[in-house]
Amino acid sequence: MKEHEYLLENHLVNYMFKHLFPFSYGKNVVHSYIMLQLHYDLLTMHIESVANHLGYMDVDQAVRMTQSWVKEAEPNSIYFAVFI
């Protein structure tokens, strides 16, 4: 994952533009930052868990994992509400 950190960086930049960071949650910048950090931490945890389970992780698997996780987690507001 160290050699492909740009994948997570690109994903977070897209997240910031999509959600109009830091104004994504009204005027509460701290809450917007916490959600961004939570998004990053959960995505990283899922990618590392899958890599640990499979024993390896290549770029294609990381991209597919990121896409499937975002499609499942982002529309589901309850998913993030549990952690806050």
| Residue range of the domain that includes 25 | 2-81
Instruction: Over range 48-60, report the average pLDDT.
Output: 85
Q: How confident is the model at residue 82 (pLDDT cuts 50, 70, 90)?
A: low
Task: Tell me how far apart the alpha carbons of residues 47 and 81 are, in angstroms, rounded to a whole number.
Answer: 21
pLDDT of residue 70: 82
Q: Which of 39, 31, 29, 34 is nearest to 76 (CA)?
A: 39
pLDDT of residue 77: 67
Indicate the average pLDDT of the chain: 79
Six-digit token pair at 28?
Answer: 């509460």
Which ranges constitute the DSSP H helices of the chain?
5-18, 29-54, 59-73, 77-81
Q: How confident is the model at residue 71 (pLDDT cuts 50, 70, 90)?
A: confident
Model-level pTM greater than 0.95?
no
Six-digit token pair at 25?
Answer: 């949650």
What's the CA dihedral at 39, 19, 27, 37 to 10 degrees?
20
Q: Give the total number of structural domains in the chain.
A: 1
